[in-house]
Structure 1
Amino acid sequence: MKPKKNPQQDLNKKSATYFVFGLLMVLAMTYVALEWKTFDRSHYDSISMHKPDLDITEEPPIFQLEVPPPPKPPVLPVEIEIVDDTDPVEETDVIAIEVNTETEVVDVSEFEVIEEEEEVKVIWKTIEEVPVFPGCENDKDKRACFNKMMQKHIKKNFRYPELAQELNQQGRVSTQFMINRDGSIGAIQKRGPHEILEKEAVRILSKLPKMSPGKQRGKAVPVSFSIPITFKLQ
């Protein structure tokens, strides 16, 4: 039986060539595998595809700025005015008293000692016997009667200054005055929103009548009394 293999198609003739070619392919693949470099994929592409969250609100930062203090005003030199001194100089003669053995010693008992009574000022809340307003002599509660008569006096003598009305000035004037030992009205202190209103409050209180003085431990003493006067535009 004849062999069916073609002698011209013998693969063993080129086996060395195929071996060398395969070896080169393996070396090339090994080299490529060793030199292959990979990089991480950027995640910005995935973020850019997302929609922004509209619920997120950012608060602006708060900065505290320190304002420098204003510069101090320049100090001007004091002007010295030279004045001719033409006034006569009055000289005081000092008489020296020399003490010797013949000087008479004065007895202490011959001197009269005058005791000055210390002035005691009492406020309205602590006074034992309050000053009596004219017309409240027979009233049992003299404090309440005093306050009632004061309000009546202010309403009777109240007059809104025209200049204050033009300037649209209004507010409350706090006043305090002293009822002296003889029942007369002493110094009046005031504090209000405008000088015009303060003057009107002083004018009203200066028209107060003379009263019976307040007493502390049976003696007449000065008593301070405070009352506010309100000026209000209609």
Structure 2
Amino acid sequence: MEIKKNPKSNLENYSKLFMQLGLVLALFVTYIAIENKTYDKEYGDLGSADMASNIEEETIEFQQQPEPPKPKTPPPPAPEKIEVVEDEKEVEETVIESTETDESEAVEVDEVEEVEEEEEVVEDVPFAIIEEVPVFPGCKGTKAQKKACLNKKMQKHVQRYFDAELANELGLAPGRKRIYLQFKIDKDGSITQINARAPHPRLKKEAMRIAKKLPKMKPGRQRGKAVRVGYTLPITFNVE
């Protein structure tokens, strides 16, 4: 039967051996360091080196450029000749005449022609856009009120004077008929340029007749001036 050795016991033996070797090595190194001495090194005469003799000189040549020619200075201008006038010679003086008029001198004025200013011609203005509407007798108020009053007075005038039986006498076809009565309210307020469109000549004549019965009105005005105002009055009636 073999007896096995413990590996730990082997390691302990090796460690002791290594420790002894380390001490011996440390003592040997210390001894060598003490015995070692340092000496100053002596250098021999190296001699003087002739650096200049070994370096080749490089010559740099400079080319001198010729100076540019100087510009020629122009000769100074000749001095102006000044003519000296002797006192004995007479010098003509320039006389400057004054343009101012003498107040004492009489100025003759020809006859002044009077220029007649042409009056601005204002064309007829439609009733719908007139600035100041014509005024029917008895109408008052604002522009809108006067306008409405004139239309109402016109309708009453037609109802009062128009002969409605005339349409039945003419034998017109039954139905709704219409007459367009046109005229101008002139600058003085009178009724002029009366015209009418009707389905029968007698109806046209009747419409123009009642237009002539309209009273004189206050004329309409545009830009502060009296103008003619165009007015259209439709007359509607039924024929049975």
TM-score, with length taken from structure 1:
0.50
TM-score, normalised by the number of residues in structure 2: 0.48
